[in-house]
Structures are given as C-alpha cells and as structure tokens.
Amino acid sequence: MSTRLYYYTGTGNSLWAARQLAERLEDPVDLSSLGTNYELPNTDCDRMGIAFPVHMWGLPLRVAEFIRQLTPLPNCYVFALAVNAGQVAGTLIQLQKALAEQGIALGSGFDLQLPSNYIIWNGAQPEAKQQQLFANTRHKLDSVAAALKARQPGPIEKGPWWQNIPFSAINKVASPRVPAMDKDFWIDKKCNSCGTCARVCPAGNIRMEAGHPVWMHHCEQCLACLQWCPQEAIQYAKKTADKKRYHNPEVSLSDMLTAAKLSKNDN
C-alpha cells in the first residue's frame, strides 16, 4: 500500500509532522510540497494526506486552492494533519466541507499541537516547552499511523463549540484580506541582500529589487520570510523586533527551499 502525503509549511512544523508520520507508515510514502508547484494525485492512490498549518483558525489559502483543483479519488483514503499552536477550532470541519464539494470524503483529520510560530503575537516558546510538544506529537502520531494503516474512519477532530463558532467566523472575514497583509513587512539595517526570504517563500510572493525584498500582495501569512531570515532583518509592523524567532529545529533551510520549489540544496 502506498501513500501520497502533501505538506504545506512556512516554518517547518508541518514538514516535520509529515516526515514523522511517513516513518511510522512503513509502506512507501511520496512526500510532495504544496509550494509554488505541485502534482495532483492519481485516482488509483491508496491513501492521500495533507499536512498543513492552521492559519487564522482555518485553512491556509494555498491548501484551499489545492482542494478546489482535486477530482474524486475512488478507493483512496483521504486524511489530514492540522498543525496548530493549541486552537485547531473548526479547521478540519472546514476541510471536510471543502473536500465534499469536490466529491471527496475526508476519512480522518487529526489535530497536532506544535510550537507556536506566529511571532506577530508571541516569540518562540521556551525550548523545554517545545520539546514537550514534539514528544506529545510523536506519541500521538503512533496512534495516527496505526489508524491510517487500517484505513479507519474518523475522527475529524475539532475544538470546543464555543471556540469553533467565533473563530470560524473570524476566519471567514479575515481570509480574503490575508494577501494584502504583507504591507506591514519591512526590513531593518541588518539586511545583507542575501535573498533567502524570496527563495523560501512558498507562495512566491517576494522579489528582490536593488538588493531588497519587495512583497507582491499575494501573501499567505506563513511568516517563512521573517522566521528564516539569517540576519533577523525582516520585521512586521512594530510587533516583532524584540521577539525570538522560531523554525522547526529538525528542518533545515535547504529543506525549506526545496519545499518552496524555488531552490534546492541551497544553504
């Protein structure tokens, strides 16, 4: 039995989760990035999964776009890993509905809590807290893998109703505004024109002009540009200058460049 596992990642957490699951499935797993390019699954796949971060309590724009391009997948068991910092809310229900519109059933959807990477609200968590979250997720993925091997139906995990209703409403209002939210990125004097931000952006939203990044207003708020900047020169409004950066400690910049489909094996 083979599996195609797509991942969308900005700071590496979803890629890490996809790799951890692939190790546990044992059978051949084809990892494929939802960067600027991707290959749609064949209709004869055994299992198809999507690992992605929760953005504003819902689906990232790129994941939603990917779902809209899918066609029915007969006999293919579809599952999802929703990576978040503690509030999955109704994200997997949103995904279930989006897949249903394409004639595809979501077999199971799992909530995975990993270190927070939304630096606009908070900096990196203490390392001890990060390691505990990694350990908890490794343990959960053991049972996730067992369920997927058996193609067990459900669960579609979600937050409590009092969280889902308001947060889902916020997501519905906020999502259309996300592409233009890059207007608040700026660079400080530490920028050395290395271009990492442009190459690591999974949305291809940054170009370099006169040695400086320019954001082109189809942002997805993954914050890859800010979190992976080697000089920590990228800031967001007045909210990030003094905050500790985060990217998954087991994912390299080379991994991220490959995931973005913009550069490979480039440190």
In whole angstroms, what is the distance from residue 179 CA to residue 84 CA?
A: 20
**pLDDT of 265 above 50:** no
Is 35 part of any domain?
Answer: yes
Bridge partners of 77? Answer: 47
Of 161 and 12, the structure prediction assigns the larger pLDDT to 12
Residues 211 and 250 in one domain: yes
Q: Which of 17-21, 94-98, 107-111, 164-168 has the lowest mean pLDDT?
A: 164-168
Number of domains within the chain: 2
CA-CA distance, 83 to 161, in Å (whole number)? 19
Asked if residue 64 and residue 146 are part of one domain, the reply reads: yes
What gap in Å lies between CA 22 and CA 3, rounded to an integer? 9
Has residue 267 been placed in a domain? no
- Going across the sheet that includes 47-53, the strands are 29-33, 3-7, 47-53, 77-84, 108-113
Pairing of strands 108-113, 185-187: unpaired
- Model pLDDT for residues 49-107, shown as the tens digit of each residue: 999 999 999 999 999 999 999 998 888 999 999 999 999 999 999 999 999 999 999 99
> 112 and 17 share a domain?
yes
Q: How far is the C-alpha of 267 from the C-alpha of 247, rounded, in Å?
A: 15
Last residue of a domain, one of 119, 138, 171: 171
**Contact (Cβ atoms closer than 8 angstroms) between residue 57 and residue 165:** no
Peptide bond into 155 cis (omega under 30): yes
pTM score, whole prediction: 0.93
Give the model confidence (pLDDT) of 169-199 as tens digits.
Answer: 999 999 999 999 999 999 999 999 999 999 9
202/151 same-domain check? no
Domain annotation covers residue 264: no
Three-class SS state of 6: strand
242 and 158 in one domain? no
What distances in angstroms separate CA 228 from CA 12, 174, 200, 252, one per listed residue?
10, 25, 8, 10
265 belongs to a structural domain: no
Contact predicate 250/23, CB 8 Å: no
Domain hosting residue 167, numbered range: 3-171
